[in-house]
Amino acid sequence: MPQSMLPPPVPEAPLAFILTSSRRATTNHAVGYWEFENGIVSTGDAQLHVGYYTQIKCVQGMMAGEEATINLTVLFFHNDYNPAPNITMAGTHNLHNGEQTGSVSAASPEYIEYIGRVFYRNGSTGLLRIE
């Protein structure tokens, strides 16, 4: 898959990416069950590799067995030594169907207009949409 930098985002348009897991590790801890995942971010048609992602998931408390909290950060390729353009999301993961939803909680200046927008991630296809 060729690597590429994304063109500047269009704030009115939704963003769509495919997240493909490369590595996953889990651990049990006194405060919950944790899963750490990272992988490749590609364009919605899965043709261009545009960055990487990391995700932390925790299952705990009364919702254990049904829902997990997630924090997901996407880092995009860039040409300089500044921090990478990025988007960070927080939300929930349904343990029955793999679906994820939440909102954009932080972003680099290139994506600041997306803060507060809703995201959806399809558990079976890896499609991430930020609307």
pLDDT digits (tens, 9 = 90+) for 65-122: 688 999 999 999 987 778 889 999 999 999 889 999 999 999 999 899 999 999 999 9
Q: How far apart are CA 63 and CA 45, in angstroms?
A: 34
Reported as a single tens digit per residue, the pLDDT across 44-67 is 776 789 999 999 999 876 555 688
Which helix (DSSP H) or strand (DSSP E) does residue 91 occupy?
A: strand 86-94
Is the model's pLDDT at 8 over the cut of 70? no
- Model pLDDT, residue 100: 96
Q: How far apart are CA 112 and CA 114, in angstroms?
A: 5
Domain ranges in the chain are: 15-130
pTM for the complete prediction?
0.87
Which residues, including other chains, have CB under 8 Å from residue 24's CB and lie 6 or more apart?
A: 35, 36, 37
Q: How far apart are CA 34 and CA 27, in angstroms?
A: 5
> What amino acid is encoded at 111 in this protein?
Y
